[in-house]
Amino acid sequence: MTRLELAIQKLNRLEKELEQTALSEREHYAQTHGSPVNDKNYNTRKRFFKRAEQIENKGMRLVKEVEAQKERIAMLKEHEFNLANGLNKNGTLATSVANIEEIRSRGGTYNKKRVKQLELIAAKAEKDQETMTDKTKALIESGAVTKWEKKPMYYFVKGLRKVALIINTDGNFEVSKHYPAKTEKDIEAVSKILETA
């Protein structure tokens, strides 16, 4: 399930909860037939208004959460649109292997350097496909690592933040110099993965 789908699911849940809270508030006031203040018992009045305030506060909190969730969904939709169109999160052209031709067409010295770097990455990724061992293929198929579509020579380790492996000349995985494991926990996790590959 994508982040967008999860966000929509959460919005639906929040909207149902808000609807139920509004219903609870109407039912709470309906039980007094419109005259809670006339109750002679002080404690009964106090409990009534305390409960009314709790329901109202919950409703206000839920309204804020619904609005925040709608903003998140809009942001995620924009992000998915950008990804589908080769753009980064800022809406500008992403430095990605998939965008080599577009970057080349824009010209400029900086873009020429980017194109050259991306072409080297694409060539390395293509060579990796030819040289990878069966163990490396099995590890990729298991889902323990995920190929980075933007720069497909990197394989990020699932469950770790910014830790990637690359395929060496022997066709086996090794830790990337650009995205190494830094904490002891991450180093241990990567070691276990490399032992199985």
What pLDDT score was predicted for residue 10?
A: 96
- How many residues does this entry show for the chain? 197
What pLDDT score was predicted for residue 71?
A: 96
What pLDDT score was predicted for residue 53?
A: 93
What pLDDT score was predicted for residue 23?
A: 93
Q: How far is CA 50 from the centre of its chain?
A: 39
The per-residue pLDDT for range 137-176, each reduced to its tens digit, is 888 888 889 988 888 899 999 988 899 999 898 888 889 9
Give the CA distances from residue 150 to residues 15, 57, 134, 183, in Å, rounded to whole numbers and listed in that order: 37, 46, 24, 25
pTM, entire model:
0.55
What is the spatial order of strands in the sheet that 164-167 belongs to? 145-147, 155-157, 164-167, 173-175
Mean pLDDT by 10 residues, the chain (197 residues): 91 96 89 64 81 94 96 90 73 76 74 83 86 87 88 90 90 89 88 78
What pLDDT score was predicted for residue 2?
A: 85
CA-nearest of 179, 178, 159, 167 to 137 is: 167
